[in-house]
């Protein structure tokens, strides 16, 4: 069974109270995509007639990957067209993540337009040279073994000369997922934290950094499947004072823009002996 089935399987404790089980992990901290996905699952469990179109979350404290997480949902508003929820993720009595999510009825109609997907090699032509990536990144790929993640080589796509940092990644679930659209949305919330902050390191390949997600926002624009190839087109508009801003546009293989993400993360110069991302049994490097 894929880990994502365990991640998204929340236990109902009481009305608007849910618990996420411990998912075995090499990370010492709870993976940001996991807690965001679980918070979104908790919110969707309180909605009957609308679909999520956006979420905005803050990682207010590091989570412990070895502990379960409790999710408290506040039903902020239920209107005719929109509903709003606030979710607080708690470990040991303290919040580690706070998220607001907005849900929209699915029969509205209006104007239509979309950005186009850049031309890149198809995923079948992209291969990852594991020996050329840092040890910490190799461990992360092992952690994400349920996902097919293929970074497009920099020389294989056209660069915007006005953008400081660019990275393009194909990704999908290796495991077939159920047809439920909500399952795919929550799965993408998990996937969206993969590789995004690393897009800020493209101009600084050898700079030692300490990394952590600080906040995360997503907009879900069109239907998609997370077990089919998605192109994650990432940029980092700015890095300054130990923080980097990153932005991603997610397209399906047909070129439809299905989601957009924005994240700020910690990219502090790493002290000697510190790991880039805290991983059990991994030394810095």
Active site residues: 193, 213, 263
Residue that the structure tokens 């020996």 belong to: 131
Whether the CB-CB separation of 222 and 208 falls below 8 Å is answered with no
Cα 254 from Cα 274, distance rounded (Å): 42
Whether the CB-CB separation of 218 and 260 falls below 8 Å is answered with yes
Cα 178 from Cα 159, distance rounded (Å): 36
Residues 6+ apart with CB under 8 A from 154: 166, 202
233 burial (CB, 10 Å; 0-12 / 13-18 / 19+) is: buried
Whether the CB-CB separation of 215 and 261 falls below 8 Å is answered with no
Whether the CB-CB separation of 252 and 229 falls below 8 Å is answered with yes
| Other beta carbons within 10 Å of 182 | 16
Cα 57 from Cα 102, distance rounded (Å): 12
């Amino acid at each position: 069974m894929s880990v994502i089935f365990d991640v998204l399987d929340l236990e109902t404790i009481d009305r608007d109270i849910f618990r996420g089980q411990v998912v075995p992990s090499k990370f010492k901290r709870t993976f940001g995509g996991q807690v965001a996905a679980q918070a979104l699952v908790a919110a969707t469990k309180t909605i009957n007639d609308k679909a999520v179109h956006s979420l905005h979350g803050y990682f207010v404290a590091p989570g412990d990957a070895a502990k379960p997480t409790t999710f408290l949902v506040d039903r902020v508003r239920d209107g005719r067209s929109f509903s709003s929820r606030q979710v607080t993720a708690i470990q040991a009595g303290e919040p580690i993540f706070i998220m607001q999510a907005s849900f929209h009825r699915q029969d509205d109609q209006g104007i239509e337009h979309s950005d186009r997907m850049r031309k890149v090699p198809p995923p079948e032509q992209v291969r990852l040279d594991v020996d050329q990536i840092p040890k910490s990144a190799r461990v992360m790929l092992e952690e994400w073994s349920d996902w097919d993640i293929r970074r497009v080589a920099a020389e294989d796509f056209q660069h915007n000369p006005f953008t400081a940092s660019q990275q393009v990644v194909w990704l999908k679930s290796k495991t077939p997922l159920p047809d439920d659209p909500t399952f795919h949305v929550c799965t993408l919330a998990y996937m969206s934290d993969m590789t995004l902050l690393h897009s800020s390191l493209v101009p600084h390949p050898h700079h030692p950094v300490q990394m952590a997600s600080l906040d995360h926002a997503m907009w879900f624009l069109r239907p998609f499947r997370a077990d089919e190839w998605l192109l994650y087109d990432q940029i980092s508009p700015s890095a300054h004072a130990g923080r980097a801003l990153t932005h991603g546009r997610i397209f399906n293989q047909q070129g439809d823009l299905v989601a957009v993400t924005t994240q700020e993360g910690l990219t502090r110069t790493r002290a000697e002996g510190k790991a880039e991302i805290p991983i059990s049994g991994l030394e810095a490097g």
